[in-house]
Chain A
């Protein structure tokens, strides 16, 4: 299982008004653990008012840049991103898991490929890592980036992209699509939709020559681009997605504390929600929640039944349960009320659990 390591913040640089690039250095001999592949992300954790939050952010550095950097754009109401943008200072330390993710394709120095990248807003972060790495490692490769933003002043890494264009003249091209700022060419204004892509493929991008496409942005944009790519003849194996949904949840609500922990006898009433419907069952306190659900013909998810795989995870909304073994959930999940239902026995006379949360 991946573990957290401490990273030292060596630099915090603003790229636009509400986004920072953070340079990080592994400490305590964990350098090799953070040897990343282009396009991967780091998962950070931090305590906010006694509650642990975890957030994943993509690495924006190229593999051979010799530095570990992530880009963090401030999200409205987002605790972690706001903190990173306003309070994080060089010299601070951050807890992070080693790089994860598979938003990349293998590099081949002899390949002569044409890559196409689509990025929406801060979705450019992993794409920047990929294009820098690829252009450096594959001298014959070319890369076209279609980069969607609201306006000129929200373009992350604008200058860096210009520098790359000069460095890789003829091999790297950026098409900026701006939602609200008018541009000389009408086609470059508006949203990146399926129709817009189809038009780009007519005159601006030689779609037939594209080997692999990378897409990172909000959901509707990714869907539109993927449809356009498929229509243009790309196979699913040629399209790489990375979605960090706006759906990374905000502040998690604290679990209601079990007020009436008083318990009598050996029986419990369990209200179990699964696939949107709730069944209330009577069960012995010597029975696991999973078995109670299965015995009542509910199709509860499980696999190992040994507290190892986390398939049977559910959330306790009311009452208290005891988990006899836990090799899968981490402390912060347990704190939020998650239990492994294959290992969880009711303690209170009434418990309410939900597999849908």
Chain B
């Protein structure tokens, strides 16, 4: 049997890897970075949302918010477990950073990460009350759905499987947000909703990143990416705008 194929060649032709024993160094680095970004975003998202639970109007809303916090923590845990197989100290990792820390509402950091963790920039902004949290969760929930569809194709099969398992759970979070928004609209609590959309729209949009094409091609040849960020962002914009339109809201810029 011809056994002299390089791992890079194997990956470029659509091969899948299944354990840390034979991932090339740059693959390992890109994969760990991707996992860290997901874990940090989930942990920061859950931590930020935890503070909002008590502001939910009624028990059902609070249950929905608590469920989101629980499940985002669980999603983080599942991906962190894979990082553990690469050597990460998983217990220390979860506790090494104050995940509730946020910047000022008017901080403008674009796509920059903080110095201390890999959460997407959007998770560095504070939520302002229940309605604002619902809007953020709706927009980000739709973005996560698009991103998870992309990452479910990743060439590291154990991670692809975890993402495929997480995808419907995260999709449900966006649905819960939509139900929350529906309720706010029914109760004529429209005030501030459009402002929240305008605040979160560009920040969620920035979470798709703008990597240059050379870098994208590099990740693509390793099977770590398939669709360019710009295309993913366009897909999200269309889907999120359609959802907003149902409630008489318009996308931000």
Measured in the bound complex, the distance between the Cα atoms of B34 and A301 in whole Å is 10
Residue B18 lies at the interface, judged by CB distance under 8 Å to chain A: yes
- A191, B3: Cα distance in complex, Å: 12
Contact B36 A1 (CB under 8 A): no
Given A309-B83, A309-B88, A328-B87, answer yes or no on A303-B1 (Cβ-Cβ < 8 Å).
Answer: no
Residues from 1 to 47 in B contacting A, C-beta threshold 8 Å: 1-7, 9-10, 13-19, 21-22, 25-26, 28-30, 32-33, 36-37, 40
Indicate if A201 sits at the interface (CB-CB under 8 A): no
Give complex CA distance A103, B88 in Å: 21
Residues in B neighbouring A327, C-beta threshold 8 A: 89, 92
Which of B22, B161, B218 has most chain A Cβ within 10 Å? B22
Instruction: For B26, list chain A residues within 8 Å (CB).
Output: 275, 355-356
User: What is the CB-to-nearest-CB distance from B16 to chain A, in angstroms, rounded to a whole number?
Assistant: 4
Question: B17 to nearest A CB, angstroms?
Answer: 6
Say how far B159's CB is from chain A's closest CB, in angstroms. Answer: 10
How far, in angstroms, from A242 to B15 measured CA to CA in the complex? 10
CA distance A247 to B3 in the complex (A): 9
Measured between C-beta atoms, what is the minimum distance from B178 to chain A in Å? 27
Contact indicator A305/B36 (Cβ below 8 Å): no
Q: Given A1-B84, A308-B93, A247 and B29 touching (CB < 8 A)?
A: no
Which residue of A has the minimal Cβ distance to B95?
A308
Residue of A nearest to B161 (CB): A102
**A56 at the B interface (CB under 8 A):** yes
Q: When the two chains form their complex, are residues B1 and A179 in contact, meaning their CB atoms are under 8 A apart?
A: yes
Q: Given the complex of chains A and B, what is the CA–CA distance between A2 and B26 in angstroms?
A: 23
Cross-chain contact A241 with B16 (CB below 8 angstroms): yes
B60 within 8 A of A: no
Contacts of B4 in A (CB 8 A): 246
**Contacts A100-B19, A237-B164, A355-B29 given; does A310 touch B87 at CB 8 Å:** yes
Which residue of chain B has its CB nearest to the CB of A97?
A: B85
Number of A-B contacts (CB under 8 A): 153
Tell which of A103, A219, A303 touches B15, judged by Cβ atoms closer than 8 Å. A219
Least CB distance, B165 to chain A, in whole angstroms: 11
User: How many residues on chain B are close to A (CB under 8 Å)?
Assistant: 52
**B19 x A56 contact (CB < 8 A):** yes
CB-CB < 8 A to B93: which residues of A?
304, 308-309
> B18 near A242 (CB under 8 angstroms)?
yes
Q: Which residue of B lies closest to A226 (CB)?
A: B14
Residue of B nearest to A330 (CB): B87
Is there contact, CB below 8 Å, between A218 and B117? no
Is B84 a contact of A311 with CB atoms below 8 Å?
no
Q: Which residues of B contact A120 (CB under 8 A)?
A: 1
Question: Does the CB pair B37–A218 fall under 8 Å?
Answer: no
Which residues of chain A are near B30, meaning CB under 8 Å?
301
Collect the chain A residues with CB atoms within 8 Å of residue B10's CB.
Answer: 219-220, 222-223, 243, 245
Closest Cβ neighbor of B29 among chain A residues: A301
- Residues in B with CB closer than 8 Å to A243 are 10, 15-19, 22
Give chain A nearest CB distance to B111 CB in angstroms. 14
| Across-interface contacts of A328 in B (CB, < 8 A) | 87-89
CA distance A317 to B160 in the complex (A): 34
A2 to B89, CA, bound (A): 9
Q: A127 at the A/B interface (Cβ < 8 Å)?
A: no
Given A102-B161, A308-B92, A309-B32, A303 contacting B40 (CB threshold 8 A): yes
* B22→A121 contact, CB < 8 A: no
8 A Cβ contacts from A76-132 to B: 100-103, 120-121
The 4 A-B pairs with the shortest beta carbon distances in the complex, nearest first, are A303-B36, A301-B29, A311-B32, A219-B10
**Interface, chain A (partner B; CB < 8 A):** 1-2, 41, 43, 56, 100-103, 120-121, 148, 150, 179, 191, 217-223, 226-227, 236-237, 240-248, 275, 299, 301-306, 308-313, 327-330, 333, 355-357
Q: A223-B13, A306-B96 are in contact. List 6 more A-B contacts (CB 8 A).
A: A56-B21, A100-B19, A220-B3, A243-B16, A243-B18, A309-B88
